[in-house]
Amino acid sequence: MSAPKDQRALSFGSVADAYDRFRPPLPRSVAEFCGATAASSVVDLAAGTGLATRTFVDLGCTVTAVEPDAAMHEVLTQRSPTVTALSGTAESLPLPDASVDLVIVCSAWHWFDPIPASREIGRVLCDGGHLAIVWNGLDQRVDWVAAFARLRDAMAMPHNDQSRVGYSPAAVVVDEELFDQPVTTTISWSWERSAEDLVAMLATYSGVITADDVARAAVAHRGRELLADHVTSEGTVTMPMAARVWLGARRERPTR
C-alpha cells in the first residue's frame, strides 16, 4: 500500500542530503535545447537541492531557484551560494510579472495543480519566454533499466500507470491560451555510477522514502540483483538515462 500523494510530496526534505548526492544532474544538452544562454534569466521551479540549478549556473545564466521545502532549500543554498533562492510554490510564485525568460520544472510537474501553475508561470514569463517541463531519469526503453525503475514506481503507483499522474510530456496539461503548441523530445545520455550509488538513488523517491523498513530493504536487495550483470570490473554501472522534455513558448500578451 503506497502512502497518500500529499504525504509523498512532503517527504523529500527527510533525505535532502542523499537526494543531492544520488539523484541525477540535468545534462547541459537539455538546458541548451531549452534555449538557455548566458544572457537568460531562469527560474528553476521546485528546484529541490539545485541539481538543475547548477546546470544553468554553469551556463552563465542568471538563476532564481524556488523551492518550498526548508530542508531541500538549505542544501540548495549551501551548494549554490550565489543563486537567489526563494521559498514558494508553482501556484504562488514570489516573482514579478513578465520578469524571466525561462521557467524549468525538472521531475516535479506531477506534484503541481497544472492549470493554476501554468497560469502563474505564464504570469512571470516574458512574452516569447519558455516553460520547460522535464522528466530526467532512467531510460525505461531499455528492458533491464525499466525493471530497475519499476522497483521505485511500484512503491508510489500500485498500478504503475504513469500517464494517470502526468509523468510524461504527452500528459502535460497547461492553459492553452497562454502557451503555443509545445515541442517535445527525448534526450538520451549516460550516467556512470557505482551500483551502490544507484541503489541509494532508489531510496530518494517518495514511494520508497515513505515505505517501511522491510519494504525499503527489499527494494535495495532486488536493485542490487538487477544491477549485478551490468557492473564493470571497476565496480561501476553505465546507466542509460533519458530526459523527456516538453517546451512551450509564452504567447504574446494582448495589447490594450
Domain boundaries, the chain: 5-139+160-191+242-249
Beta strands in the chain (DSSP E): 41-45, 62-66, 84-86, 100-106, 125-138, 183-194, 236-249
C-alpha triplet 105, 110, 115: angle, nearest 5°: 80
pLDDT tens digits, 119-178: 999 999 999 999 999 999 999 999 999 999 988 877 654 444 443 344 678 889 999 999
pLDDT band at residue 11 under the 50/70/90 scheme: low
Q: What is the percent of the chain with per-residue pLDDT over 70, rounded to a whole number?
A: 89
210 versus 1: the higher-pLDDT residue is: 210
pLDDT band at residue 13 under the 50/70/90 scheme: low
The DSSP call for residue 211 is S
Amino acid letter for position 49: T
Query: In the chain, what is the straight-line distance between the N-terminal and C-terminal CA atoms, in Å?
Result: 53
Q: Determine the distance from the C-alpha atom of residue 198 to the mean position of all C-alpha atoms in its chain, rounded to a whole number.
A: 17
The reported pLDDT for the residue numbered 168 is 77
200 versus 209: the higher-pLDDT residue is: 200
Amino acid letter for position 165: V
CA distances from 250 to 6, 25, 39, 75 (A): 30, 26, 18, 31
pLDDT band at residue 115 under the 50/70/90 scheme: very high
Amino acid letter for position 244: R
CA distances from 89 to 5, 41, 121, 224 (A): 16, 18, 10, 36
Least confident range of 3-7, 93-97, 183-187: 3-7
Question: In whole angstroms, what is the distance from residue 112 CA to residue 89 CA?
Answer: 9
List b or e across 137-149, with b for residues whose CB sees 16 or more CB atoms inside 10 angstroms: bbbbebeebeebb
The reported pLDDT for the residue numbered 79 is 92
Question: In whole angstroms, what is the distance from residue 256 CA to residue 253 CA?
Answer: 9
pLDDT band at residue 206 under the 50/70/90 scheme: confident
Question: In whole angstroms, what is the distance from residue 204 CA to residue 25 CA?
Answer: 14
Question: In whole angstroms, what is the distance from residue 229 CA to residue 60 CA?
Answer: 40
Place of cell 543563486: 83
pLDDT tens digits, 46-94: 999 999 999 999 999 999 999 999 998 999 999 999 999 999 999 999 9
Return the bridge partners of 105, or none. Answer: 45, 133
6 versus 149: the higher-pLDDT residue is: 149
Mean pLDDT, the chain, rounded, equals 89
183 has pLDDT over 90: yes
C-alpha triplet 226, 237, 56: angle, nearest 5°: 120
With a CB cutoff of 8 Å and minimum separation 6, the contacts of 120 are 90, 91, 92, 93
Query: The domain 5-139+160-191+242-249 belongs to what CATH superfamily?
Result: Vaccinia Virus protein VP39 (3.40.50.150)
3-state DSSP assignment of residue 30: helix
Question: In whole angstroms, what is the distance from residue 244 CA to residue 30 CA?
Answer: 9
